[in-house]
Amino acid sequence: MVMNLDKCIGCHTCSVTCKQTWTNRSGVEYAWFNNVETKPGVGYPYRYEDQERWKGGWVLDAKGRLALRSGGRLKRLSRLFANPELPTLDDYYEPVTHDHDTLLSAPAGGDAPVARPRSALTGRPTAVTWGPNWEDGLGGTPEHGPGDPNLTGGLAEKVRFEFERTFLFHLPRLCEHCLNPACAAACPSGALYKRAEDGIVLADQDRCRGWRMCVTACPYKKIYFNHATGKAEKCTFCFPRIEAGQPTVCSETCVGRLRYLGVVLYDADRVGEAAAVPDPKDLLDAQRALFLDPNDPQVTAAARASGIPEDWLEAARRSPVHALISTYKVALPLHPEYRTLPMVWYVPPLSPVLDAVSASGGDPDSPDHVFGAVTGLRIPLEYLAELFTAGDTDAVAGVLMKLTALRSHMRARTLGGPDALGPVGLTPEQAVDLHRLLAVAKYADRYVVPAAHRETDTRGPGTVGFQCPVGEHEPSPGQRHVLLGMPTRRRKEETP
């Protein structure tokens, strides 16, 4: 998945529809598989990015080998029954309901009745003091902004939370379905696994014993403990819908049309090597190097030899995700320094660059003035680099300059002016295609999701998962079959 942060309006529709589909039941009232955060801000759960506290992701040991930050097997074994590195309910929030009966049954009086909040867990009266979207629109304020773990060292001083310097943007988050998932490596029961047929990371509810080591190991804190069942749960990437060739619920209902889904071919044998590069700033290029060109005849031949169906290869060639990550290189991963090689990427937000040029007395038609303004935008490069490139400001600047050149080129097509594409390596044809993809892409262009094939299903009898029995799918013995999802209704103007 790729998300274009310039188009996110923070409406939380994705979060609500995901909640209604997957966690609208007892035991996971506090869990949001998808949530939208305001940055700068502390996030959900509270300061989840502070890995010195939560010990998530991977690090390199003294010999340069990958090791879980949460410790080796013996250390995890010693903490089976008392793990101090778990977020508490206060770090998430105590979910509440309201005493609506009071509104219906209150006797007539001079004052309007009030439905006071009650804990959804205990039923007792409580106060609402925190929540998954508590910072909505408040991320850049003096009360919340300085708590952002990404504001370290001199960056905290540079990002001054004053009225005239305030900035914020919305960051939707879900499980990253990593190529090198720390959660799967940390699970003592082997309940977390990455499906070989499509790379989705799932939790086997039969094998899970509720040790919660996966919660600690996940640096994004996107695995939740169901206190009613004693099992770990997480985002499933809506795989019943994916298997049926439909986009995820969060993508289907996204108001801003900022999400893109597609197939990416990658070299699985080199995942460990890519995750173990010594310099964290090299992780972006190392992961991009894993992704294979679906138009390369050798890649196509190897994919066919591996049993990948032809419609999947065609989907890989049409993949908007591959185009944004590998062809145009405008998408970046969230916190690559965790070394999990995440598979949910982001097009970083671009501040109003032409306003910045005018404010500095520059010429909006001059590429030199426009590119120079990128380094002084309202959202500091250093902050975006802490989020998406392990601190490499040059990589972020390159993406923002490419997006700036694209805007200038499309503006010049209408109003005239010099061509700004040359310095960023885009041809006019590529610029038009990238503009179409980022700005006006239709439903079928944003979501290129081929249906699953029965012959590629690697799950054997006894495997517990959510299987959508459609098309060629035949139920496997011992599987639990649950058909979840929402009816697909395309807007009339988006019908291919």
Nearest to 327 by CA among 288, 297, 298, 299: 288
Contact 84, 78 (CB under 8 A): no
Strand stretches in 204-349, DSSP E: 223-226, 231-234, 259-260, 332-333, 345-347
pLDDT band at 3 (very low <50, low <70, confident <90, very high): very high
pLDDT score for 473: 36
User: pLDDT value at position 339?
Assistant: 97
Q: Is the pLDDT of residue 151 over 60?
A: yes
Per-residue pLDDT, 106: 85
Residue 162 pLDDT grade (very low, low, confident, very high; cuts 50, 70, 90): low
Tokens of 122: 């205990």
Give a yes or no: residue 345 inside a domain.
Answer: yes
| Percentage, residues of the chain above pLDDT 70 | 84
Q: Which residue has the higher pLDDT, 105 or 156?
A: 105
Query: Average pLDDT over the chain, rounded to whole?
Result: 85
Pair (418, 283) in one structural domain: yes
The domain boundary, picked from 446, 467, 491, lies at 446
**β-strands 169-173, 35-39 pairing:** antiparallel
Spacing of C-alpha 127 from chain mean position: 30
Task: State pLDDT tens for residues 380-433.
Answer: 889 999 999 999 999 999 999 899 889 888 888 887 766 778 788 889 999 999
Which helix (H) or strand (E) segment holds residue 274: the answer is helix 271-275
Rounded CA gap, 139 and 38, in Å?
A: 5
353 inside domain: yes
pLDDT digits (tens, 9 = 90+) for 30-46: 999 999 999 988 999 99
Q: Are residues 185 and 332 in the same domain?
A: no
| Rounded-to-integer distance, Cα 76 and Cα 93, Å | 26
Kindly state the DSSP code that residue 36 receives in the 8-state scheme: E
pLDDT tier at 366, thresholds 50, 70, 90 = low
Domain count, the chain: 2
Task: Return the higher-pLDDT residue of 251 and 489.
Answer: 251
In order of 105, 113, 176, the CA distances from 101 in angstroms are 6, 10, 41
Q: Are residues 296 and 190 in the same domain?
A: no
Is 151 within the bounds of a domain? yes
| pLDDT for 488 beyond 50 | no
Asked whether residue 297 falls in the same domain as residue 414, the answer is yes
Are both 208 and 290 inside the same structural domain?
no
Residue 484 lies in a domain: no
Q: Report the alpha-carbon distance of residue 289 to residue 324 in Å, rounded.
A: 14
- pLDDT the model gives residue 165: 65
Give the contacts of 219 (CB within 8 A, at least 6 positions apart).
48, 49, 51, 54, 56, 57, 69, 182, 335, 338, 340
- The verdict on 245 and 281 lying in the same domain is no
Domain limit, last residue, from 446, 474, 490:
446
Q: What is the pTM of this model?
A: 0.87
CATH number for the domain that contains residue 56: 3.30.70.20
| CATH number for the domain harbouring residue 417 | 3.30.70
Looking at the structure, tell me whether residues 242 and 295 fall in a common domain.
no
Pairing mode, strands 345-347 and 2-4: parallel
Q: Same domain, yes or no, for 334 and 188?
A: no
What is the pLDDT at residue 73? Answer: 84
36 domain-assigned: yes
Specify if 257 maps to a domain.
Answer: no
Separation of first and last alpha carbons in the chain: 21
- Sign of CA pseudo-dihedral 96, 22, 445, 344: positive
- Residue 481 confidence (pLDDT) above 50: no
Domain encompassing residue 158: 9-93+129-252
Identify whether residues 72 and 165 lie together within a single domain.
Answer: yes
Higher pLDDT, 340 or 72: 340
pLDDT at position 364, please?
54
Same domain, 37 and 142: yes
User: Are both 286 and 410 inside the same structural domain?
Assistant: yes
Q: Long-range contacts for 395-400 (Cβ within 8 Å, ≥24 apart)? A: 395/281, 395/284, 395/332, 396/332, 396/348, 398/329, 398/424, 399/329, 399/330, 399/332, 399/347, 399/348, 400/348, 400/350, 400/353, 400/374
Q: Is residue 107 in a domain?
A: no
Q: How far apart are CA 53 and CA 41, in angstroms?
A: 17
For residue 272, give the 3-state DSSP assignment: helix
**pLDDT for residue 491:** 40
Q: Is residue 1, in this structure, part of any structural domain at all?
A: no
The pLDDT of residue 375: 65
pLDDT confidence of residue 354? 54
**Cβ atoms 59, 164 nearer than 8 A:** no
Q: Is residue 264's pLDDT more than 80?
A: yes
Looking at the structure, tell me whether residues 206 and 306 fall in a common domain.
Answer: no
Residue 130 gets the label, from left (phi > 0), alpha (psi -120 to 50) or beta, of beta
Check whether 117 has a pLDDT greater than 70: yes
